[in-house]
Amino acid sequence: MKRIQFLQAIAATLCLAATSASLAQGYPTKPIRLIVPFPAGGATDLFARTLSQKMGEKLGTTLVIDNKPGAGGAIGSDMAAKAAPDGYTLLLATTSTHSIGPWINPKLPYDTVHDFTPIAHVGDAPSIMLVPNSSPAKTVREWIDYARKNPGKLNYASSGNGTIVQLTAELFKSQAGIFVTHIPYKGTALAIPDLISGKVDVLFDSLPTGMPHVRDGRLRALGVTSLKRSPLAPELPPIADTLPGFESNTWFGLYGPKGLAAEMVTRINTAANQALADPEVRDKLARLGISPTQSTPAQLASMVAEDAAKWKKIIAERKITGD
């Protein structure tokens, strides 16, 4: 009896594998839904729309953007995690959803590692360190020295508790060994006027939204949060030149639900990498302040694991919450 059950289980497994292989061979036969877990018009949405058209061409179908914002990206991510692993629902995840979210909100209805299939790391967006023109600091080193001489007297703005903007500042504080007070805003755009007037001492803002204020002479930029200079602002040195190893990027990654067939993963990964190599796509992403990346699924999983460990440490050490 046990032998019969064992053989039946083997047969069922082989049948499922054959069915998956058959589906993958003809894939795709209809439009693919790409869930963006943030509002339309934001950086993640614009990235998705830039990538989706060329990716759809490579796959021979259409990628339909489905914005499902809310709960810091958790609502859309949960929908993707619970979708059928048939290749017709994908997720454009970010640092917020998969590196930071699990540690800010331990009650997430999904596991960012086990409930998703990694497909491709598709882009990185660094930030820049902004200070008022009235700041005595002209370099990152000078700002750190200034903060050390004025412990507790300086402040930094963020786009809210538990956001990548706050965590970047806290990482900076940790590595620099300084004490600076946090002032949360509902978005960095609302903090800019106070930064310009000098009510705020520093802000780590996204490169495309922060640099126009620098180029118009309203603010001063001291450095970029990527390990290397950004082609969008080559004049800015990496903060890592002063604080070795300092890095904070918003990454973008494609995921499918758990159990996505390997053949489909390969097909989607190849299409994504081909789209990211297209000069038109690269040019559009550059204007968004995003550096396109090309990777294997394993490289995405490894990068996110390392990134999540970094932010987990900072969140625990600095006692950061989303409240």
Q: Write the CATH number for 54.
A: 3.40.190.150
Q: Over the stretch 285-316, which tens digit does the pLDDT of each residue have?
A: 998 889 999 999 999 999 999 999 999 999 99
pLDDT at 187: 86
pLDDT at 24: 64
Distance CA 196, CA 10 (A): 67
pLDDT at 14: 46
137 falls within a domain: yes
Q: How many separate domains does the chain show?
A: 2
Q: Over the stretch 27-46, which tens digit does the pLDDT of each residue have?
A: 999 999 999 999 898 889 99
Residue ranges of the alpha helices (H) in 105-217?
140-149, 164-176, 188-197, 207-215
Q: Are residues 142 and 231 in the same domain?
A: yes
Q: Are residues 231 and 265 in the same domain?
A: no
- DSSP track, 286-311: HHTT-EE----HHHHHHHHHHHHHHH
pLDDT at 41: 87
Give how far Cα 312 sits from Cα of 98, 101, 171, 320, Å.
11, 10, 11, 10
- Segments of the chain with pLDDT less than 50: 2, 5-7, 9, 11-20
Q: Are residues 200 and 297 in the same domain?
A: no
5 falls within a domain: no
State the residue for tokens 């600076």. 180
Which residue among 211, 241, 271 closes a domain? 241
Q: Are residues 137 and 92 in the same domain?
A: no
Task: Give the relative orientation of helices 279-287 and 262-276 as an angle to the nearest 10 degrees.
Answer: 80
Q: Are residues 35 and 82 in the same domain?
A: yes
84 falls within a domain: yes
3 falls within a domain: no
Domain that holds residue 280: 30-125+249-318
Give how far Cα 21 sits from Cα of 65, 83, 262, 304, Å.
27, 19, 9, 28
Q: Are residues 103 and 192 in the same domain?
A: no
pLDDT at 16: 44
Which residue among 199, 216, 241 closes a domain? 241
Distance CA 33, CA 128 (A): 33
| pTM, two decimal places | 0.85
11 falls within a domain: no
Q: What is the CATH number of the domain that holds 225?
A: 3.40.190.10
